[in-house]
Amino acid sequence: MTGEAAMTRDMILTQYRPIRRAIRAILAQAVHACKKADLDRAAKHLGLVDDAQLADDTVFDMLCDVALFEPNQRGRRVFDGFLHDRLATLDPPEQDVARRMGGAFVSIVRVAEWHAQAGLWLEDLLDAGRRLWLLDEGLEASAREGLVIGMRLFEAGPFHAGFGIVVEPREDLVAFCTQATARGARLPVRHSLAAALYADDIQARSPPVIDEADVPEAIVEALIRQADPSAGRPVVPARRSRRPHG
């Protein structure tokens, strides 16, 4: 046997778990590269309109994800700046993971089956015929066959890994996006697929709030007050979100 077929579950998880720890450590450092304008932009894209929404740690992590990885109006990503300025300060194993994280993408996927050793096989619904081997111990334990989820993931070696935010998208959004990619058209989202997926999840879990135009400044200021450089905040599950534990 060669390649992944020759690896036992313990061997695979021994390779994956340090990567998972590195992802958390890198994100905890990278978020401090976000400026007020980056957080403000992300808040608007997610439709955040009330300080109370920030009490949910998942909202915080969704906002940081968009601020870090989605390009601004000049096409620049905060995470790319973090890699340029701070990569050398990371430990060598984390440097490799951080570079790989820079190539992460967001997609809508379906759980096809369980991998023979560890993890899941996913069907990428926005790239017909593409199958991805995902390592995520929590999702492996909780997912059901046929489950459709949206997430950001990256190639972490022989397998893919996620960042910890997993949502179940609306059926109509899945249909619109798959139809658009089949035609070779742009995705029918206003800002980014990540923002569309997260905003739907936030809206479904949030009580009615006041008009969006009145509050963005207060949200960003509250977010900055919440940020703790030593926290290394984990992502916490939301009502419609699925938060893998590994």
Q: Could you tell me which residue, 9 or 224, shows the higher pLDDT?
A: 9
Going by C-beta distance under 8 Å and a sequence separation of 6 or more, which residues neighbour residue 72?
A: 37, 38, 41
Residue 84, token pair as written in the block: 């340029």
Q: What does the pLDDT read at residue 212? A: 47
Boundaries of every domain in the chain? 8-230
Of these ranges, 13-17, 53-57, 240-244, the one predicted with the greatest mean pLDDT is 13-17
User: How do beta strands 105-114 and 160-167 pair?
Assistant: unpaired
How does the average pLDDT of the chain come out, rounded?
A: 87
Percent of the chain with pLDDT over 90: 74
Residue 161, token pair as written in the block: 């890994």
Q: Hey, what amino acid is at 234? A: P
Residue with tokens 């070696």: 157
Distance of alpha carbon 156 from alpha carbon 15, whole angstroms: 10
* Residue of 169, 137, 132, 139 lying closest to 154 (CA atoms): 132
